[in-house]
Amino acid sequence: MALTVAPEKPAFAPRKLTREEGLEARLSGEAWQERSAEFFRGLGLEVLNNFKHTKPDHILYRPRTKGPVAVVAVKSYKLLPYTPTDHRHASPQRTITPALISAEFNAAKRQKTALIIEVVNKVTDTMWFYIVPHRQLDSFCRVTTPSWLAQNPPPNNKLEENYKQLTHFLKSTLT
C-alpha cells in the first residue's frame, strides 16, 4: 500500500553544512525522532527507538505478541516552497533511496516487515509517511517527497489522507 507520488526532479541541498550546522541538524533530527516514537506509541504500538547510525530509527512492535510490525526511517528536513528568485538553503523536495536509509531498509528485509519512511518538514512541523510493504522492498529504488509538503501550511486534505493511509495500514497489521 505504498503512497504514490508523481516522479519529480530530485532536489539537493545547495551546500555542505558547517560542523556547527551539522551538530545542530543532528540534534534536531534526534528530537524529531523522539517525537516520532511518541507519535507511534500514541497509536498503541511499542517502539524500539535507536539513535545509532547503524541501527534502524524505530522498530514497531505489536503490544500483545511483541512481534515486529514495521521498521521506520525518520528523516527531517527544512522544506520550503520553490521560488525561482529565492536562494535559501533549503529545497522543496527530497529524494530518499535505500542507500540513504540502509539500516532501516536492511532491517525491514531481515525482519520481513514493512518499511515506513517518515519525512518531517521542520519548517511546518509536518510529518509525511510513505509505506513500502515487505513484498515490495526488492523493487523499491526511491521516493520523492510530494511538493505540497513544502507548502506553509500544507493542504489539510493531503495530510489527513496520508495519516489515514498510515493508520489504516498499521491497524491492518495488528489484526
What is the three-state SS of the chain? CCCCCCCCCCCCCCCCCCHHHHHHHHHHHHHHHHHHHHHHHHCCCEEEECCCCCCCCEEEECCCCCCEEEEEEEEEECECCCCCCCCCCCECCCEECCCCCHHHHHHHHHHCCEEEEEEEECCCCEEEEEEECHHHHHHCCCEECCHHHHCCCCCHHHHHHHHHHHHHHHHHHHC
42 within domain boundaries: yes
Q: What is the mean pLDDT of residues 10-29?
A: 68
What average pLDDT is seen over the chain? 87
pLDDT for residue 43 is more than 60:
yes
| pTM assigned to the model | 0.84
Distance between CA 84 and CA 109 in Å, rounded?
A: 41
In a domain, 95, yes or no: yes
Q: Which structural domain range is residue 131 located in?
A: 19-80+88-174
Tell me, yes or no, whether 41 lies in a domain: yes
The answer on pLDDT for 2 being more than 80 is no
Within a domain: 119:
yes
Which pLDDT band holds residue 15 (cuts at 50, 70, 90)?
A: low
The predicted pLDDT at position 149 comes to: 96
Sheet containing 114-121: give its strands across: 46-49, 58-61, 68-77, 114-121, 126-132
Flag whether 3 is in a domain. no
Number of separate domains in the chain:
1
Mean pLDDT, range 15-44, rounded to an integer: 84
Residue 8 lies in a domain: no
**pLDDT band per the 50, 70, 90 thresholds, residue 18:** confident
CATH code for the domain of 127: 3.40.1350.10
The answer to whether residue 141 sits within a structural domain is yes
Please, which pLDDT band fits residue 150 given cuts at 50, 70 and 90? very high
| pLDDT given at position 85 | 66
Nearest to 59 by CA among 71, 46, 77, 75: 71
Least confident interval from 42-51, 110-119, 166-175: 166-175
> How would residue 91 be classed by pLDDT, with cut points 50, 70 and 90?
confident
What percentage of the chain has pLDDT greater than the value 90?
65
Asked whether residue 163 carries a pLDDT value surpassing 80, the answer given is: yes
Return the pLDDT at 78: 87
